[in-house]
Structure 1
Amino acid sequence: MSRTSRIVLGVALLVLVLVLDQASKDWILYYYHLPDRGSVQILPFLNFTMVWNHAVTFGMFGGLGAKGPWVFCAISMGAVGLLLWTLTRTRRTLVAAACGAIAGGAIGNVIDRLRYGAVVDFLHAHAFGWSWYVFNVADSGIVCGVVVWLIDSFLADRQTRQT
């Protein structure tokens, strides 16, 4: 795949994750009115559960007070800058795709922090007594992007050792 095609792929995934994230959050807040409902079972293993996340992943660093959203936004946008720089320079298609998905998710959560002072989380997966943290589409884009990047790195490392 050409450099331009890799960049287009990464930017397309960035836009896709960002649009799906923001559209799903607007729907949850303003059409489904989840804040009024609290938690609603959608499937036997999935609830819509309203959570305003004032911290970062898994509730870490929640004690920063009013400065927290600004600190998280600054760090996130710095990371987005590095991801976009990597996206434009990588020769690996999967890394370009991962950079786009991660950046789109990070921007989506930054928008929430600027709009609401917290991130809108609403997807709650659970099964057989196991329960995952409540998350959103942006978080999914970030996690999937990181997993794809790790798999690509693992495969590239194996390929390098075999040659």
Structure 2
Amino acid sequence: MASYKSNNKQSLLLWLGLSSFLLILDQLTKIIAKNNLFEGVSQPVTSFLNWTLVYNSGAAFSFLAQAGGWQRWFFTGVGIIAALVMIWLIRKNCHQTIFSLALSLILSGAIGNVIDRVLYGAVVDFVDLHYMGWHWPAFNIADSAITIGVILLIIDEIKRVNK
């Protein structure tokens, strides 16, 4: 029994370590973007990628960005509650690899964006993908981690249901 608890603790630390690494990477890239880019000014990288610093005070795709300011604290609170729930779920299910990986990714992204809301009042985005005049909304490492995590959750659920 002691060995099982030790393995659980090691697994939990592994998943939280991954989240911490991605959180640090997210925050470092945002600092680099803030220090090297001008807000709203695109710097072309390739034919389909620009670095463009924007601040998103809303949620995904700028949902509620013009809501008057209350959304900053609402999304901060939701992010904190979600992070606590994800830590609990990882702890409870740390040997389920895909599930724990997915939650670790989502956790890092949620905390990264919460930090932005607290420090800057909005999420710092800087990756601008485009094709033939069509632009995907700007995003960051945290958003990418959340997206990949959600995809992995869907895959994990499909595998679970098909067993």
The TM-score, its normalising length taken from structure 2, stands at 0.88
The reply on whether 1:105 has 2:109 as its aligned counterpart is yes
Residue 34 of structure 2 corresponds to: 29
Shift of 1:115: 0.8
The reply on whether 1:9 has 2:17 as its aligned counterpart is no
Q: Which of 140, 143, 148 is 1:144 aligned to?
A: 148
State how far apart, in whole Å, the 2-side matches of 1:114 and 1:4 are. 30
CA contact (8 A) 1:123 1:135 kept: yes
Shift of 1:153: 1.2
Structure 1 unaligned residues grouped into runs of 5+: none
Q: Which of 125, 132, 137 is 1:133 aligned to?
A: 137
CA contact (8 A) 1:51 1:122 kept: yes
State how far apart, in whole Å, the 1-side matches of 2:10 and 2:60 are. 32
State how far apart, in whole Å, the 2-side matches of 1:37 and 1:109 are. 19
Shift of 1:145: 0.8
Residue 4 of structure 2 corresponds to: none
Q: Which of 43, 46, 49 is 1:46 aligned to?
A: 49
Per-residue displacement from partner, 1:60-114 (whole Å, max 9, x unpaired)? 1224322221111001100111111100011411111111111111111111111
CA contact (8 A) 1:10 1:98 kept: no
**CA RMSD between the two structures:** 1.8
CA contact (8 A) 1:54 1:117 kept: yes
Aligned with 1:65: secondary structure?
coil
Per-residue displacement from partner, 1:98-152 (whole Å, max 9, x unpaired)? 1111111111111111111111001011234543111000000111111111111
Runs of 4+ deviating beyond 6 Å: none
State how far apart, in whole Å, the 1-side matches of 2:56 and 2:25 are. 19
Per-residue displacement from partner, 1:7-39 (whole Å, max 9, x unpaired)? 133212211210011000001111x2x126711
State how far apart, in whole Å, the 2-side matches of 1:18 and 1:11 are. 10
User: Greater shift after overlay, 60-69 or 99-108?
Assistant: 60-69
Percent of paired sites with the same residue: 35
The reply on whether 1:92 has 2:96 as its aligned counterpart is yes
Structure 2 unaligned residues grouped into runs of 5+: 1-6
State how far apart, in whole Å, the 1-side matches of 2:131 and 2:21 are. 29
